[in-house]
Amino acid sequence: MTTLPPSTREQGVAPDAAVLWRALDALAARAGEPRAFRACADDPLRLVSRLITMLDQQMREKERLTLALDSRHDGLWDWDLRTGEMFLSSAWKAGLGYRDEQFGNDRAAWESMIHTDDLPMVQDRIWRHLRGEGEDFHVEYRLRGASGEWLWIATHGRIVMRDEEGKPSRIVGTHRNVTERKGWELELLRAKEVAESASRAKSDFLANMSHEIRTPMNGIIGMTELALDTQLDAEQRGYLQTVKSSADALLSIINDILDFSKIEAGKLELEEIEFSLPAVIGDTFKALALRGHQKGLELVFSIAPDTPQVLRGDPNRLRQVLMNLLGNAIKFTDKGEVSLNAHTVSREDGRVRIEVAVRDTGIGIEQSKQFEIFDAFSQADTSTTRRFGGTGLGLAICRKLVELMRGRIWVASESGKGSDFHFTFEAGVVRNQVKTESIDNSYQRMKVLVVEDNATTAREVGENLRCWGFQVSVAASGEEADAALKLMAKIGDAFDLMIVDANMPDPGGFALPSRFHDAGACCDRVIMMLNSDTQRNDAARCRQLGVRSNVVKPLTPSDLLDAIRLALMPVQDEPEVTLAEFQIDEQLLHAGAAKPERRQEVLLVEDNPVNQTVATKIMQRAGYEVTVAGDGQEAIEWFEKKRFDLILMDVQMPVLGGIEATKAIRAREARRSWAMSGRWEVTPIIAMTAHVMQGDRERCLEAGMDDYVSKPIQPAELFAAIERVAKRLETTDFEGIAVSQLADQNCLLQIEHGVADLEQTRTLLEGDEASVDSLVAIFLGDLGKNCVQLEKAVVTNDGKTIGALAHSLKSSVGVFGAALAADAALMVEVAARKGELEAAKKAVPALIAELNRLSAYLRRYLENKQA
């Protein structure tokens, strides 16, 4: 309570007046005006009149406020924290159906009316405000009305007075009956939940439906492909080709509808994985090249040099957008060219915004349709649907996908002249370069003649060559090429290399190397640029003419560089298989299946008989020995009995699913590997799944699978996955990792954690503690011998043994989650494999140090267990 200063109370005031002073003191405090009181403390009459004026003013304000609140059906409350009294306006009580006396004027009376579920929240909100949170507080809760029903009340309040110590002493606020509004909100919420659950049900239904449709589709497409591979007459072949193209079209429609509904239901989430931008663009363009070249189109692509090459994002969804734009560009263009350019728009905080442009010289799009085409099921010219097909969903999906990638998509086009589609997307930057291409210094002095009639291709090839240091001349026709050659001869000089478009009319194209050939000159410094449609015959022609090197359009810079290296290689180093032959073989070998040299064993785990047959035939045709397991349990049994080079694993199966089976196989593998060779030998497992929902890929990889293909199985995709896995296992991370880069990682060795993670070992061994202990014991038992051998190999400069030991140690320590030791072993292994003996030797002490740390840790672990 506010008190007067002792001087005022005690000096010159008669004892009976003290009572009056106290009363005035209290009044002043109630009025919240102790200072005003003090100002006229020596003149009681003035003080009394001052107080009366103030109280009168306050009464008027309160009346006005009450009137305003009553007219809005709001109630006023005023809570004195010192006495606990809480004034609640009668009008508000009446609004709830109470007479004034039915609802007490204190906090307890108010709280007793609040719904017990809501009371803690209300108290907490007020308590937090009292502790200083927020200028005011707002809370909504249920309060019982006079007739027993629950009413929703919104209460707003604020501290309006504090005592001299600054503690809150009074809170004032309003109550409002918001039952009606709350009713709508709840109604809306319920409707939203219903809609969401309907959309979830729709999406689940579509996912299941896709599974159900894809399985028979797998049978149709697979069996048709197999039948097309048999002896057929022309009529039968025609029928089957129609079946195949219709089935392909149906599958792509199903995929589009599924994607669209997934995006609509907000179910589509993007992945965040590392990928190479040039590889994604190059592979997508190459996949469509055959169609483009069959129509006689020139296909060109370029990526601006400032564009980071390794990104973090969703390569599959990016590929889908590219596939759609490039597919449309080829579909709607009859002559001319289709080009793709990518460049960086901006870069900030480890992220990059990239713009991709896909240009064509096709039918173009009318101005008025250029917005509409990005809507679902809309096509610029419905009359073209009959001719070109399509659902009108592709661009709608593209738009949604690029928006998910924080980008946008737009088009500039002119009817009859062509279209220019652009989109932007954001991604994380991992590295600027995939690997630093070691460009030969001798290129700096070399002269190269590019014979190409398409200006865009000539420009792109020329730019790349100049970048690598070549001096470039371009000839747009055979005649120009002849003139350039003659001019060089006249000045007693010659081109070091010629890059010639195979598809140019005479005297360009093949006429050029055939003239050299006829004149008895060596043609091994000519590179022919072939197109994917005619490459099979053209490559044979190259061989006949002695042209050793060729590339297939659309060219990637690395294709071109490989071809240049091959063309400039001395003849004695000539590889047995030329690039062209390799590419042809790939085409001929049933959509990319490289025939294994010996019959490899594959375990096919699949419950569906149709899928079983298709996958078996595909693998047998590629030369594999196939064992079929009908579910995960059978797969484990087979794995126990036999060694396989590869396992193809369905995910959804009865008895035991693919994820569980993989985990069990990995655990057995760890035990078996240790028992037999002391190092972990991995059997590649590739998931085959009709699942298309987000997260499936991660689930497969987390379970220990190495790669992933979706059903219906496309042979090309499957073999690409097999090749990827094989490459990864062969080179386990060391290809493309420069030793200097690893040396930078050396700083990792300073970090204490990473010595070992036995939790990983336990998970691997399905929690089998005894096995964990015996693995640790085996490892410790062998370690001394391994270290001695390693040191001996260093002394005798035996790089091969150093590499082999480091490789084996890397696998062994990996089982204990020893990231640092594994890194150190990898460093030694990479250097040794690259033939950099000195670097390998230099890295050995760090490895031994890490092994010592690991062994100390493992020994401590065993000691603690025994203690």
Among 380, 402, 685, 813, binds ligand ADP (CB under 6 A): 380
Segment contacting ligand ADP (CB under 6 A): 231-239, 360-368, 472-480, 832-840?
Answer: 360-368
Q: How far apart are CA 273 and CA 243, in angstroms?
A: 37
Nearer to ligand ADP, 29 or 402 (CB): 402
Q: How far apart are CA 325 and CA 365, in angstroms?
A: 14
Nearer to ligand ADP, 309 or 379 (CB): 379
| Minimum distance from residue 329 beta carbon to ligand ADP (Å) | 5
User: Does the protein bind ligand ADP through residue 340 (CB under 6 A)?
Assistant: no
Indicate left, alpha or beta for 242 from its phi (over 0: left) and psi (-120 to 50: alpha). Answer: alpha
DSSP letter for 496, please: S
Nearer to ligand ADP, 274 or 375 (CB): 375
Sequential DSSP letters for 777-824: HHHHHHHHHHHHHHHHHHHTT-HHHHHHHHHHHHHHHHTTT-HHHHHH
Nearer to ligand ADP, 332 or 734 (CB): 332
How many residues touch ligand ADP under the rule CB under 6 A: the total is 22
The H or E element spanning position 647 is: strand 646-650
Place of tokens 């080009």: 339
Segment contacting ligand ADP (CB under 6 A): 181-189, 266-274, 362-370, 851-859?
Answer: 362-370
The H or E element spanning position 353 is: strand 351-360
267-288 core/surface letters (b: 16 or more CB in 10 A; e: else): bbebeeeebbbbebbbebbbbb
| Minimum distance from residue 424 beta carbon to ligand ADP (Å) | 18
Among 379, 456, 611, 710, binds ligand ADP (CB under 6 A): 379
Is 376 within 8 Å of 263 (Cβ atoms)?
no
Among 300, 365, 529, 593, binds ligand ADP (CB under 6 A): 365
| Minimum distance from residue 363 beta carbon to ligand ADP (Å) | 5
Segment contacting ligand ADP (CB under 6 A): 233-241, 301-309, 391-399, 619-627?
Answer: 391-399
Nearer to ligand ADP, 325 or 688 (CB): 325
List the alpha helices (DSSP H) in 533-657.
Answer: 535-545, 557-568, 579-588, 609-621, 632-641
**CA 560-564-565 angle, 5° bins:** 120
Nearer to ligand ADP, 324 or 532 (CB): 324
Segment contacting ligand ADP (CB under 6 A): 394-402, 668-676, 787-795, 835-843?
Answer: 394-402
Among 58, 316, 344, 391, binds ligand ADP (CB under 6 A): 391
Residues 510-569 that bind ligand ADP (CB under 6 A): none
Nearer to ligand ADP, 170 or 408 (CB): 408
Q: How far apart are CA 173 and CA 76, in angstroms?
A: 6
Among 106, 381, 645, 798, binds ligand ADP (CB under 6 A): 381
Q: How far apart are CA 91 and CA 781, in angstroms?
A: 88
SS3 labels along 115-154: CCCCHHHHHHHHHHHHCCCCCCEEEEEEEECCCCCEEEEE
Lookup: tokens for 441:
């210094």
Among 24, 151, 289, 363, binds ligand ADP (CB under 6 A): 363
User: Does the protein bind ligand ADP through residue 607 (CB under 6 A)?
Assistant: no
Residues 269-328 that bind ligand ADP (CB under 6 A): 324, 328
User: Does the protein bind ligand ADP through residue 394 (CB under 6 A)?
Assistant: yes
Beta partners for residue 527, in sequence order: 499, 549
| Minimum distance from residue 371 beta carbon to ligand ADP (Å) | 11
Nearest residue to 107 via CA among 88, 130, 132: 88
| Minimum distance from residue 215 beta carbon to ligand ADP (Å) | 25
User: Does the protein bind ligand ADP through residue 362 (CB under 6 A)?
Assistant: yes
| Minimum distance from residue 344 beta carbon to ligand ADP (Å) | 24
| Minimum distance from residue 821 beta carbon to ligand ADP (Å) | 52
Nearer to ligand ADP, 84 or 389 (CB): 389
Nearest residue to 729 via CA among 815, 638, 843, 810: 810
Residues 418-437 that bind ligand ADP (CB under 6 A): 419
Is 604 within 8 Å of 628 (Cβ atoms)?
yes
Collapsed DSSP state (helix, strand, coil) of residue 576: coil
Q: Mention every residue, 6+ apart, whose C-beta is less than 8 A from residue 405.
A: 270, 313, 314, 317, 318, 425, 426, 427
* Burial class for 7, CB neighbours closer than 10 Å (0-12, 13-18, 19+): exposed
| Minimum distance from residue 412 beta carbon to ligand ADP (Å) | 11
Nearer to ligand ADP, 75 or 364 (CB): 364
Q: How far apart are CA 144 and CA 153, in angstroms?
A: 10
User: Does the protein bind ligand ADP through residue 336 (CB under 6 A)?
Assistant: no
Among 390, 509, 557, 657, binds ligand ADP (CB under 6 A): 390
Segment contacting ligand ADP (CB under 6 A): 203-211, 377-385, 540-548, 640-648?
Answer: 377-385
| Minimum distance from residue 254 beta carbon to ligand ADP (Å) | 13
List of residues contacting ligand ADP (CB under 6 A) = 324, 328-329, 332, 360, 362-365, 373, 379-381, 384, 390-396, 419
